[in-house]
Amino acid sequence: MAVTTGCGSPPPPDELARPDTVVETSEVRTPRVVDDSGRPPVTFDPCLDLPDDVMREAGYDADHKEFSDMPMGWYTFLGCSYRKSDPIPGVRRGYSLNVMAGNVSLEEELEKNGDVAVETTINGRPSLREVGPTGNDECTYVLQTTFGIVLFNRLYHKDRPGPVPQAEWCTGLEEFVTRVEPFIGR
């Protein structure tokens, strides 16, 4: 089942790869979860604002995405989980992708995961790249927004015993995040 929003149409696929593409929205969504922290409301909803066709084109199963709300009192996260079957026998089965939008700052995230984070930019947006923030086979890109951050956390599902070389944990994730960044808004 596809979920649609009143946020306008995404740009044509050939424009998605252009870093200067900005997706304009025609209305502001009422956040589905708010907290009492005094922080800005989370205005990007990963399950509703990342178009299903774009996620499918990237190989993720948008028909079985999972919503998750995490109101914590002092901050809030809206999340969406996707799976990608990308099997290479003896190498990997695929990936899990969690996209979370929260009203914490990039500085707070850097303070929390500074030991695994490197400052970078995605389409000119201040960002972090975190390799293994909570364990092996995991890569995260954290993008700054006006309300806080959006995290793209991908877990590599191996199809073999032993470790996955750390150099493979983030392979292709930056390109994906660069492509969907325009849907976040500023």
pLDDT digits (tens, 9 = 90+) for 82-93: 998 877 777 777
Amino acid at 102: G
- How far separated are the first and last CA of the chain, in Å rounded? 28
pLDDT at site 27: 54
pLDDT computed for residue 185 by the predictor: 83
> For 147-164, what is the mean pLDDT?
88
Predicted confidence band of residue 158 (pLDDT cuts 50, 70, 90): confident
What single DSSP character describes residue 55?
A: H
Provide mean pLDDT across the span 67-88: 86
Please list the residues that pair with 66 across neighbouring strands.
81
CB 27 within 8 A of CB 6: yes
**Average pLDDT score over the chain:** 82
Sequence-distant (≥ 6) Cβ neighbours of residue 130 within 8 angstroms: 113, 116, 117, 118, 139, 140, 141, 142
Total-model pTM: 0.80
Q: What is the mean pLDDT of residues 147-171?
A: 89
Query: Which amino acid would we find at residue 30?
Result: T
Fold of the domain spanning 45-183 = Protein Transport Mog1p; Chain A (3.40.1000)
Which pLDDT score, from 0 to 100, does residue 159 have? 81
Q: pLDDT digit string (tens) for 113-144?
A: 999 999 999 999 999 999 987 778 899 999 99
- Among the listed ranges 8-17, 77-86, 156-165, which one has the minimum average pLDDT value? 8-17
Report angle CA 52, 58, 61 to the nearest 5 degrees. 55
Q: pLDDT tens-digit profile of 162-173?
A: 778 888 899 999
